[in-house]
Structure 1
Amino acid sequence: MEKEVEAVIESSKAIQEVAKTSGQAIEASKQLGGFVSKFISAPLEAGVGIISDKLQFIRWEKQQKLIVKASQIMKASGYERANNPLQLKNAIPLLEYATLEEDDYLHEMWARLLVNCTCSQEPQKMTRAFIEILSQLSHLEVRILETIYSYSFRDIVYLGVTTEHLPERCEIIRSGDDEKQLPPQEVRVAIANLVRLGCLRFPSVIGGGEIYSLILPTLLGLEFVSACTEKTDSK
């Protein structure tokens, strides 16, 4: 009987130690979550969530928005389900990036990319490049691309467009045009990133260098913008 009592006491002590340790772990998690929340645009609860469940709290809302928007796009195109399902190697990173996107317009672009590459009579070929490009774009960079590629690719592929008034508008370069003004610094940085990603290219100049007063399109940029643009045709 004495041994049984001692066993119960030891068991009780062990439980207390576990509870104590668990309490410390929870408190540490809260402290770390609070620290993380100082560096992201989300409340303390989200900071804790980053530690405990990999942003599950934040991503749930984005998942719902993605489902709703993708369903709306599919319905408008006359499709009830995907006829060209994505391979896991593309589906997983696409869904991960989409559920982390905080900008509503970019989040909608993820829905368009998902639907365009899985639902249509001739689905757009999904490439990992499209996923990686979209994951690295800002709202400003997307607006720049949409403005430039609103022109026919054939009309701008050789001469390019002006950048002075981007992202609001641009003009096709004509032979003999005078030198154009440079766009704001923010736009120049955005253009540099789009060139890095292969969506645009600088004109060729003797000795190299970067000319920010005009820019040229690329085939990759054209295909990427097309893949992220909502289609109006149906079956």
Structure 2
Amino acid sequence: MTDDSKAIDEVAKTSGKAIDAGRELGSFISKYVGGPLDQAMGIVEDKLKYLRWERQIRLMERANKFLSERGLQQPTRKVPMQIAIPIMQGGSLEEDDSLQDRWAALLVNVADESSGSEVRRAFISILEDLSPLDAIVLEKIYDISAVPRDKNEVWTTSLPEQALGTKPEAEDLRPSAPVELSLGNLARLGLISSAMAWGGIAMLSRVHRTVLGYEFLKAIKHSSKSCDQ
């Protein structure tokens, strides 16, 4: 076989894999939006063709895994396209695995009628604005094992390791600069609110949790049992 023939053969193999992957992804999308396969394939071509192939596949695999862990083979409610497509786009563009898992969990939660999660477009834009550290800090603040749900006041000094329900003994109550920046972003998004102020400036050493924060975290959190959401 000549070098040209080998090159042509490799291109053919790669193209075949891409076509097969596209069909698999089209079938996956069709399950969620409830449309025919050719419509789903059109969505893949028109909306997702610019996304990285390996991130698309990982998102699909994680969503399928989360469904399986709930004992589900298929979504139990169809997701509107104006919700499903932005989630798939956002999840496919996300390069951090921990954040992409949250996109997959969001997709599964809105596709599971027993999850208790409301379908809200706002959750998509909020998740797009989170960094990996933001997500960790948010989960620590809402961790019921660290701070009881009925106690709204949270001290942030020890984050990202843990959130505190009582005032720490340390003299410097300010969290680290990266954590303070994350807290500022979470406050901007309405996921927490400041419990302290000095000279009219919000202090983030102590924060309050919000209804939006609870509902958002429930929507992006995976559980093998939907009743635990």
Provide the TM-score with structure 1 as the length reference.
0.69
Partner of 1:196: 188
- Inter-partner Cα distance in structure 2 for 1:134 and 1:219: 16
Per the TM alignment, residue 128 of structure 1 is displaced from its structure 2 partner at its CA by: 0.7
Partner of 2:211: 219
Partner of 1:5: none
SS in 1 for 2:90: helix
Shift in alpha-carbon separation, 1:55–1:230, aligned structure 2, 3 A: closer
Q: Which has the larger radius of gyration?
A: 1
- Inter-partner Cα distance in structure 2 for 1:122 and 1:143: 22
2:110 pairs, out of 104, 108, 117, with 117
Partner of 1:209: 201
Partner of 2:29: none
- Inter-partner Cα distance in structure 1 for 2:148 and 2:171: 22
The answer on whether the counterparts of 1:69 and 1:108 sit within 8 Å (CA) in structure 2 is: yes
1:181 pairs, out of 173, 189, 192, with 173
Q: Does 1:156 align with 2:148?
A: no
1:1-235 aligned within 5 A: 56=49, 58-151=51-144, 154-157=149-152, 160-173=153-166, 181-203=173-195, 205=197, 208-233=200-225
- Inter-partner Cα distance in structure 2 for 1:135 and 1:234: 24
- Inter-partner Cα distance in structure 1 for 2:226 and 2:117: 14
- Inter-partner Cα distance in structure 2 for 1:213 and 1:195: 12
CA-atom RMSD in angstroms: 2.5
CA deviation map 1:135-173 (0-9, x unaligned): 11000000001111112663332xx11111111111103
- Inter-partner Cα distance in structure 1 for 2:163 and 2:98: 21
The answer on whether the counterparts of 1:153 and 1:217 sit within 8 Å (CA) in structure 2 is: no
Question: Which is worse superposed, 56-65 or 213-222?
Answer: 56-65
CA deviation map 1:105-147 (0-9, x unaligned): 0001100111011124254111011111111100000000111
Shift in alpha-carbon separation, 1:122–1:137, aligned structure 2, 3 A: closer
Per the TM alignment, residue 96 of structure 1 is displaced from its structure 2 partner at its CA by: 1.1
Q: More strand by proportion, 1 or 2? A: 2
- Inter-partner Cα distance in structure 2 for 1:95 and 1:142: 19
The answer on whether the counterparts of 1:78 and 1:234 sit within 8 Å (CA) in structure 2 is: no
Identical aligned residues as a percent: 35
Provide the TM-score with structure 2 as the length reference.
0.71
CA deviation map 1:1-56 (0-9, x unaligned): xxxxxxxxxxxxxxxxxxxxxxxxxxxxxxxxxxxxxxxxxxxxxxxxxxxx9984
* Gap runs ≥5 in structure 1: 1-52
